[in-house]
Amino acid sequence: LRLLGAGSMEFDGTNDYVDCGNDSSLQITGALSISAWAKKTNAINVRFITKYNAPADGSFYLAILANGKFRLNITSGDSGWEVNGTSDLNDSEWHHLTAVYTPSISLKVYVDGILENTNTSSIPASLDNDDVNFVIGTEGDYELDFTGNLKNVAVWNRALTATEVQNVMYKSY
């Protein structure tokens, strides 16, 4: 892991990650929003912000798939729900990514401030609150390591509106 100018973290895809622990402020079971600026530099499946080890151990992960699509996955009990974006992020360019979970209502993914997809099918009323650390740059079991750059990672314990997503994207940190 290398820290670059303007707060960017560079991940080389091999055991680079930031382990944020499992502080009570990160044990979110209700509404959740996560955003980050990301630049992916390879075409493999990666998970870049997670509180997840396996379907029955964790609460969410954000991924960029091999086909370049942005994914939000959440878990509750032994079940998982997901929503994928539509843009191809395998272009080595910076993109602002936001994932929003609204309990019992929806999962949403935004790319560069634009809502790309929504899942409203049987969305659970709460997330799991397992004893899993919040990790940036890899999955909780240290697989599917991210290759690229991340900056301005932010987490909210509420569902951001579309206007708030755009405001966060344009806010200078």
| Per-residue model confidence (pLDDT) at position 160 | 98
**Beta carbons within 10 angstroms of residue 124's beta carbon:** 18
- State the Cα–Cα distance between residues 74 and 123, nearest whole angstrom: 9
Residue 93 C-alpha from the chain's centroid:
17
Residue 145 C-alpha from the chain's centroid:
13
pLDDT surpassing 80 at residue 107: yes
Structure tokens belonging to residue 147: 């290759």
What is the average pLDDT across 85-110?
Answer: 97
pLDDT surpassing 80 at residue 9: yes
| Per-residue model confidence (pLDDT) at position 106 | 98
What is the average pLDDT across 11-22?
Answer: 88
Q: Which of 72, 164, 153 lies closest to 113, judged by CA?
A: 164
| Per-residue model confidence (pLDDT) at position 46 | 85
What average pLDDT is seen over the chain?
Answer: 89
| Per-residue model confidence (pLDDT) at position 140 | 64
pLDDT in tens, 118-173: 999 999 999 887 788 899 998 766 667 888 999 999 999 999 999 999 999 988 55
- State the Cα–Cα distance between residues 150 and 8, nearest whole angstrom: 6
